[in-house]
Structure formats: C-alpha cells, structure tokens
A and B are shown apart, each in its own frame.
Chain A
C-alpha cells in the first residue's frame, strides 16, 4: 500500500475553506510538501514545512503538522474556482547518493461548487 495517504476527493463551496488531509509513515522525514496539479499540467510546488514546525502560513494557505500523529493538513481559505485541482502531499526521504526523493500520496481532487 501507499506510505502517504490522502482522501481522493474533497468538495467545497466557493468562498468556504478547504482542508485537505494527509497521513505519512516515515517519522524521519525532514520536509513535507504540498503540490498542486491542474489538468494537463505538471506539479506546482505550493508550500512545504520543516518537520520541527507545527504550522506555516502563506497568504491563503495554512499548513498544520502533527508530527506525533504523522498528520499533515493544507487549509485553503476563501476557496476560489481557480483552486480546483489535484493536491498532492509528499514526504522527503533520502534515496541514496545524497539525493532526496519525494514519496507522494495519490492526490486529492478538490472540487469547487458554485
């Protein structure tokens, strides 16, 4: 099974807050990431958080990290139609040679209702 788990779908009304949740399993992960993928496009890095932080805020985005429970969340305030996309949670792990690979969840489809 996947090491990083996410719900596959989230539906919210325009203007509400969206909260996308993620759980991971590797307690040694140093960084956790949120990527956004719009249809037919590549992955856009939204934000990341270092494992010794509890929260990081960047404009409409708030990331919360509960290291004890290995739980990561992304809150998008005032959700807009342009936020409609797939959101991937990823954790950073050493893969060898000094390189760090990312292990991804399956992605959460954020659907915005008018």
Chain B
C-alpha cells in the first residue's frame, strides 16, 4: 500500500466549528488531492495541490480551504462546518511525471451535528 495516512479517521463536530483534516504521505509524490464521497454522487474533487504552496479549487470547493506547507502534508479545513459537509473525505496522491496511478488514503468520516 502507498504510504498515505489520514487523520483523524472519524470525527463528530458541531455546526459552526472549524475542522481540519490531515493527509500525510511518505511517497514524496508531487500531487495531492482531497475528495469527498457521498451516496448518489460518487467521489468529487474538492481541492488539489501540484506542489508546496501550490493549490487550486476542484469541483466542490465552496466552504473548504487547503494548505500545503511541505511536500508530505496536505490539510483540508472547514472554516465553519455545516451539516451538508457530513461526508467521507479521501485524500489521494499521484506523481504523473512517473506513473499514472493515483493512490487513496483510508478516508475520514466526518459528521457535523
């Protein structure tokens, strides 16, 4: 398995509170992604990073921000969590300069009550 660790694995939080999810990789891959998975929608891209301090928005970026201060860590922040952000969040990594594979973390189940 590719070295991707997501933390926490599960979290319950209250509406309006800030939440940060962490993705840590040991593969030194250049590209990192955050997806959310919801019933009836499959996986949708939230934000992605193409290098340290280089990030951009994906398909469903509203209400989310990201930061990548070093190669191995990609943080996803919900500034003020809402119930619509209850979901399973997956981090993925790839290094398309060398391979066409994308590897996923185990997911973080976030519940906003």
Contact = CB atoms under 8 A, between A and B. Distances in A.
A88 interface: yes
B50 interface: yes
A89 to B, nearest CB: 9
B48 A95 contact: yes
Nearest to B106: A42
A95 B58 contact: yes
Interface in B51-109: 51, 54, 56, 58, 90, 92, 94, 96, 100-107
Contacts of B106: 41-42
A64 interface: no
A95 to B, nearest CB: 6
Interface string A44-80: 1100101000000000000000000000000000000
Interface string B31-49: 1010100001111110011
B35 to A, nearest CB: 8
A89 B21 CA distance: 26
Given A42-B106, A45-B103, A99 B96 contact: yes
Contacts of B90: 42-43
A104 interface: yes
Q: Is the interface of A mostly helix, strand, loop or mixed?
A: strand
User: On chain A, which size bracket covers the interface?
Assistant: 20 to 34
B48 A2 contact: no
Interface in A80-106: 88, 90, 92, 95-106
Nearest to B91: A42
Nearest to B33: A101
16 contacts: A33-B102, A41-B106, A41-B107, A42-B104, A42-B105, A43-B43, A43-B90, A48-B100, A95-B58, A97-B56, A99-B49, A100-B31, A100-B96, A102-B33, A102-B102, A104-B43
Interface of B: 31, 33, 35, 40-45, 48-51, 54, 56, 58, 90, 92, 94, 96, 100-107
Please list the 10 inter-chain residue pairs (A to B) with the smallest Cβ-Cβ separation, ordered nearest first.
A97-B50, A43-B104, A104-B42, A106-B42, A104-B43, A99-B50, A42-B106, A42-B104, A99-B31, A101-B45
